[in-house]
Amino acid sequence: MGNFFNAISQNPIIAAINDLDKLDKVIQSPCKAVFLLTGNILDLSFIVSKLKENAKLVYVHVDLIDGLSKDEVAIKFLNTHVKLDGIITTKANLVKVAKELKLFVIQRLFILDSLALDSGINAVKTTRPNAVEILPGIMPKIIENITSETNIPVITGGLIKEKEDVISSLKAGAIAISTSNEKVWYM
């Protein structure tokens, strides 16, 4: 668990891979942690191994991996057969399973309106993931609200394009920023 927090204390920018053609660019980036947002069960072990060989921590967004069911068996498979550092999911039931397996869990929330905000906060209070990722990540007041309401570390992602977006998120209480924007990886 400490590996994630150590990595982001060294560099709070997390490289998000949503296109496997960017794999080598992610490896060359200064980012210590990687969110894998694409791939399939056939290439997952290879991708994770390649990233880990290059000293990257890898967190797989299980909801987005082709061929992987969104259930307890999938999480057990990942834990046993893929040497990942943790998972990302929007599904509360998968947070619970992953925590039981001692995996690092990031629960992703899409904050579209006040109803989504309230239900997201309630879900996080119930599931108690290791961290929460909120999208879009350019909402300082919402970051502050989720941080104070849940007392769970917050990561922001989505629509972060400028240095001031990164600074604003961190000032609002986010511990890290995830992005597929290569320019931001080097900030």
Q: Give the model confidence (pLDDT) of 6-48 as tens digits.
A: 999 999 999 999 999 999 999 999 999 999 999 999 999 999 9
Report the pLDDT value the prediction gives residue 72, as an integer from 0 to 100: 94
DSSP annotation of 80? H
Q: What is the pTM of this model?
A: 0.96
Q: Of 112, 90, 111, 94, give the one whose Cα is nearest residue 37.
A: 90
Q: What pLDDT, in 10s, does the model give residues 70-80?
A: 899 999 999 99
What CATH number should be reported for the domain holding residue 45?
3.20.20.70
| 162 C-beta neighbours (distance < 10 Å), count | 13
For CA atoms 123, 127, 128, 134, the dihedral sign is: negative
Identify the DSSP state of 65: S
pLDDT-derived band at 1 (thresholds 50, 70, 90) equals low
Cα separation, 96 vs 31, whole angstroms: 28
Pick from 67, 22, 59, 6: nearest CA to 42:
67
CA pair distance 21, 156, nearest whole angstrom:
24
The average pLDDT across 107-129 equals 97
How many structural domains is the chain composed of? 1
From residue 187, give the alpha-carbon distance in Å to each of 52, 108, 123.
22, 23, 32
Instruction: Convert the pLDDT of each residue in 170-184 to its tens digit.
Output: 999 999 999 999 999
pLDDT (0 to 100) of residue 99? 96
| Residue range of the domain that includes 18 | 2-185
Largest CA distance in the chain: 42
Here the contacts of 146-151 (C-beta below 8 Å, separation 24 or greater) are 146/109, 146/117, 146/120, 146/121, 147/172, 147/173, 147/174, 148/173, 149/121, 149/125, 150/121, 150/124, 150/125
SS3 40: strand
47-92: pLDDT as tens digits: 999 999 999 999 999 999 999 988 999 999 999 999 899 999 999 9
